Structure 1
Amino acid sequence: MSPVARQELARFLRDRRERRSPAEVGLPAGPGRRTPGLRREEVARLAHMSVEYYARLEQARGPRPSPRILDALTDALRLSPAERSHLFRLAGANPTPPGGPVRQVRPYVVDLLHRLPETAAVVTDASYNVIAFNPLADALLGDLAREPNLARRRFLGALGDGNSGYDENSSAGEFGEIVVARLRAAVARYPGDEPLTRLLAQLRAGSDEFTAIWDTNPVRAPGHRVKTITNPRLGPVRVNCDVLTIPEDDQQVVFVTADPGSPSARALRGLATAR
């Protein structure tokens, strides 16, 4: 590493250490703290390395850290995916693949879902598991807690009774390609994730359509789409689906709305009121 690169790496580590509170990394605050943030010895202990080695990194005197060391520092400092990538770049190393999709939702995202009373909203991880949803989404899409994976619903009718809980009777082929494109991207990013591997095996074994679409290697991006969903209580409902990406967690928030003043909007309002 060049002297400039060592200085930049040292500055980044000091900055993140001083920003992290003991509570954020699972440590008691304890008495006698005169400065905010973590102590060097605490970071070293969390990263399973010597205090001397970590101190040399912060003083721009250490050797180029290995990917294993960088991952340990990522965990110790609770770095976000974006911060992790930046750390690897500063050290001149290629980031190791993440272990698997992020399957927790940030609290502010969950709060957002519940501030939209006439919008059905879900958060999906990279393997199309619904990891957060609001009551209207559950009522519209049908028992998300029972079967949260939208890929299984789309290709396997996976509520255990031969149906998905709702009938997406328009844009079904397009949505199938969107699902496959996202799962292909996920397996490339998380090749060692066992839940994702099991999901793909289930889909291949249970759906010739999934296998056929997979073999075409579709390229699809999230965006605005209009579709008709047939709900057991409402019948056909014409809705708009809009996707907000959360890049740092590789997640998507899907907002399902109806055009203002339309019969579908009135149906969604009635479904929301009945909850």
Structure 2
Amino acid sequence: MTTVAPETDVRRHELADFLRSRRERITPEQAGLPRGARRRTPGLRREEVAQLSAVGVTWYTWLEQARDITVSPQVLDAVARTLLLDLHERAHLFSLAGAVDPSPGAVCPSITPALSSLIEQLDPVPACIQNSRYDILAYNRTYGRLLCDLDAVAPEDRNCMLLSYTNEDWRSSVVDLDAMCRVMAAKFRASMAGHLAEPAWKALLKRLEAASPEFREIWARHEIVGPGSRTKRFHNRHVGPLLVDHTDLWLGPAAGPRVVTYVPANAESRERLERLYALAPATV
């Protein structure tokens, strides 16, 4: 009878092999360490990675031995920096560890040049790419001026939940603000059900609760709304009223990233979006 190793075992061994391979390719000079005269290990030693990452040598050794140990996102972040991982390698590391990258400014590896080009070609239809946490990962020229000057918002603050509850320009552009805030909170709660223990989700929730009494009051209702298309009314400061049909185009499983579009619902809104596109800067 053939037995199949549990997925967690496979992941741990793949993670161990990946870390070992990346450790062996980093020279001491790249890590800011002297090479020494009697170095036999290719790349860095385990104890050097542990020291540079501010973690225990035994713990890191166990990690490369595929031991069944708990790995926090913060420690993974430190190890990724020590091993000089690029964006795709970093994403692979967190995926193997079954953890969520805690860095709010991390570039999402799912935003390929082709996807960026796709949303640009949708102009003057406003479009962006969001993840299930409502982080805005990429956006086109018209979307960048639809509700606020998104270019002026720090990348770590480009989150629809934060903007809906804390950004006055964004809030003033929504015609039915109270309803939108309730729906956003209800959709966020539904999405968060599968991510309750993840640091990035908990950090966003804590930030919302600290920044907005309105959010705290709505959140306490425990309302749930699933994903779906809706007609929305905005009042853009540059071109006036807009009536648009909101649609999510999923890039994978429903809980993952999606392209969000706001298609004009009438000729007047289309003309105004064309004007907004002409007014917006040529680059995002």
TM-score tier, shorter chain, comes to 0.5 to 0.7
1:138 aligned counterpart, secondary structure: helix
Q: 2:207 aligns with which of 198, 214, 223?
A: 198
Q: Any residues of structure 2 matched to 1:90-239 within 5 Å, and which?
A: 99=102, 103-106=106-109, 107-108=111-112, 109-124=115-130, 128-130=134-136, 132-146=138-152, 148-156=158-166, 158-159=168-169, 164-169=171-176, 173-174=179-180, 176-182=182-188, 185=192, 188-190=197-199, 196-204=205-213, 207=214, 210-239=215-244
Rate the CA distance shift 1:262–1:250 in 2: closer, same or farther, 3 A.
same
1:239, distance to aligned residue in structure 2 (A): 0.8
- Is the contact made by 1:154 and 1:164 (CA closer than 8 Å) also made in structure 2? yes
**Residue 80 in 1 paired to residue 91 in 2?**
yes
Alpha-carbon distance change, 57 to 125 in structure 1, aligned in 2, over 3 angstroms: closer
The answer (yes or no) to whether the contact 1:103–1:125 under 8 Å persists in 2 is: no
Secondary structure of the residue that 1:164 maps to in structure 2?
helix
RMSD: 4.8
Q: TM-score, normalised by structure 2?
A: 0.59
1:274 to 252, 269, 279: 279
Alpha-carbon spacing, 1:3–1:10, altered in 2? closer, same or farther (3 Å): farther
Work out whether residues 189 and 224 of structure 2, in 8 Å CA contact, stay in contact via their aligned partners in 1. no
For 1:41 and 1:67, the matched residues in 2 are separated by 26
Question: Which amino acid counterpart does residue 140 of structure 1 have in structure 2?
Answer: L
Moved more, 124-133 or 139-148: 124-133
Partners of 1:180 and 1:130 lie apart in 2 by 18
Q: Is the 8 A contact 1:118 1:136 kept in 2?
A: yes
Amino acid in the other structure paired with 2:141: P
8 Å CA contact retained: 1:237, 1:267:
yes
Identify if the C-alpha distance between structure 1 residues 43 and 231 changes in structure 2 by more than 3 Å, giving closer, same or farther: farther
The alpha-carbon deviation at position 201 of structure 1 amounts to 1.1
1-side partners of 2:10 and 2:136: how far apart? 42
Report the more deviating stretch, 66-75 or 231-240. Answer: 66-75
SS in 1 for 2:107: coil
Matched-pair identity in %:
19
Q: Which residue of 1 aligns with 2:38?
A: none
Find the residue that maps to 2:182 and give its secondary structure.
Answer: helix
Equivalent residue letter for 1:256: Y
Q: CA shift at 1:214, angstroms?
A: 1.0
Kindly indicate whether the alpha-carbon contact (under 8 Å) linking 1:152 and 1:203 is maintained by their aligned counterparts in 2: no
Shift of 1:84: 3.9
Superimposed CA distance per residue, residues 142-164 of structure 1 (whole angstroms, 9 cap, x where no aligned partner): 222445453354345624xxx73
| Cα 1:14–1:177 shift into 2, 3 Å | same
1:231 partner letter: N
Contact kept, 8 Å, 1:238 with 1:264, in 2: the verdict is yes
Matched residues in 2 for 1:22 and 1:112: separation?
Answer: 36
Deviation at 1:136, TM superposition (A): 0.5
5+ residue gaps, structure 1, are 29-38, 89-94
**1:178 and 1:221 in contact (8 A); partners too:** no
